[in-house]
Amino acid sequence: MKIGTIKDLLNAEVICGEEALEREVYSACGSDMMSDVLAYVKDQAVLLTGLVNPQVLRTAEMMDMVCIVFVRSKCPTEEMVALARESGMVLMKTKKRMYEACGKLYANGLCGNGEKR
């Protein structure tokens, strides 16, 4: 699924990384606990979270993620946006809650944990 499709499905606003909306991603995860992301997430390209702090960006970078979607209209800090720009990561925000956002992406074919559909 293209990152631009994620944007459209979630009615998301791009905060930075608009030049990468044509990039293909194949999996996603949703979590507010970065320790769970580090412990359980494998090969996920997109992170959906309501947590807004620099650790989210650092965790996503460590896990080779390319896109973070902040749910519940959460806005990253300027420091986070600067970090994302440096690493070429797409940041978006959506009004949708985590459950709805994850469900919408899954229902439209974006998988999690190496699952094939």
> Tell me, what CATH number does 50's domain have?
3.40.1390.20
Residue 58: domain span: 3-107
Is 27 domain-assigned?
yes
Average pLDDT, the chain: 92
User: In total, how many domains does the chain have?
Assistant: 1
pLDDT bracket for residue 91 (50, 70, 90):
very high
Is 12 domain-assigned?
yes
pLDDT over 60 at 117, yes or no:
no
pLDDT over 60 at 5, yes or no:
yes
pLDDT over 60 at 36, yes or no:
yes
Strand partners, 90: 67
Is 114 domain-assigned?
no
pLDDT over 60 at 114, yes or no:
no
Return the pLDDT at 44: 74
The DSSP element (H or E) to which 48 belongs, if any, is strand 46-49
Is 49 domain-assigned?
yes
pLDDT bracket for residue 104 (50, 70, 90):
very high
Q: How far apart are CA 60 and CA 25, in angstroms?
A: 14
Is 116 domain-assigned?
no
Per-residue tokens: 112: 């999690």
Rounded mean pLDDT of 81-110? 96
Query: Of residues 14 and 116, which shows the higher confidence score?
Result: 14
Is 117 domain-assigned?
no
Is 70 domain-assigned?
yes
Per-residue tokens: 12: 């998301």
Q: Decide: 24 and 33 in contact? Cβ < 8 Å.
A: no
